[in-house]
């Protein structure tokens, strides 16, 4: 497979947080795993990478929780490489209300969070088509 990798140039974004979120300082690994499994089943992925506890507890990873009616319904794992670059390494949600488009709304929220923290780029890994609509979207070229 030939993947295109992408990032968001955060200075070109004007997003503000659009969903209720908070940093999860002591995340419940079992709860995140359940959300991840629900997400994978809903998406009918034929193959999935396991969710490792070390991904969640790594000191360079921010765990951001998203809430609906005070219930955790989604999370993002954000891997900070340095003070300028952060990777959206994993997102999962329950799809309890698909019309919320929480996947794209969480990305917009994360753009606002990390832009306001002074980061320059939010890396997305694969350049899925729905991500192309994001402000500041860039395809990474070859080295």
Percent of the chain with pLDDT over 90: 73
Among candidate residues 22, 15, 23, the one with its CA nearest the CA of residue 111: 15
pLDDT for the residue numbered 2: 63
Q: Which residue in 79, 94, 88 sits closest to 37, CA to CA?
A: 94
Alpha carbon distance 31, 16 (integer Å): 27
Average pLDDT over every residue of 64-69? 96
**Region 86-102: what's the mean pLDDT?**
91
- For 5-139, CATH gives 3.40.630.30
First and final C-alpha spacing in the chain: 19
pLDDT band at 142 (very low <50, low <70, confident <90, very high): low
Full-model pTM: 0.92
**Summary mean pLDDT of the chain:** 92
42-69: average pLDDT: 93
Model pLDDT, residue 111? 97
Give the model confidence (pLDDT) of 95-138 as tens digits. 988 888 888 999 999 999 999 999 999 999 777 777 888 999 99
Contact at 8 Å (CB) between 104 and 88? no
pLDDT value at position 77? Answer: 97
Q: 125 or 68: which carries more pLDDT confidence?
A: 68
- High-pLDDT (> 70) share of the chain, %: 97
Q: Which of 81, 85, 103, 105 is nearest to 94 (CA)?
A: 103
Is the model's pLDDT at 27 over the cut of 60?
yes
In terms of pLDDT, which residue wins out, 99 or 22? 22
Is 90 exceeded by the pLDDT of residue 79?
Answer: yes
């Amino acid at each position: 497979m030939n993947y295109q990798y992408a990032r968001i140039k955060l200075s070109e974004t004007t997003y503000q947080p659009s969903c209720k979120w908070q940093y999860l300082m002591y995340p419940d690994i079992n709860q995140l795993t359940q959300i991840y499994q629900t997400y994978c089943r809903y998406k009918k992925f034929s193959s999935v990478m396991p969710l490792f506890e070390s991904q969640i507890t790594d000191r360079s990873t921010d765990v951001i929780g998203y809430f609906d009616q005070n219930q955790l319904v989604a999370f993002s794992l954000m891997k900070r490489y340095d003070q300028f670059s952060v990777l959206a390494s994993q997102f999962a949600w329950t799809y309890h209300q698909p019309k919320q488009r929480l996947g794209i709304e969480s990305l917009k929220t994360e753009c606002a969070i990390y832009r306001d923290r002074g980061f320059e780029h939010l890396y997305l890994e694969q350049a899925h088509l729905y991500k192309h609509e994001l402000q500041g979207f860039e395809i990474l070229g070859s080295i």
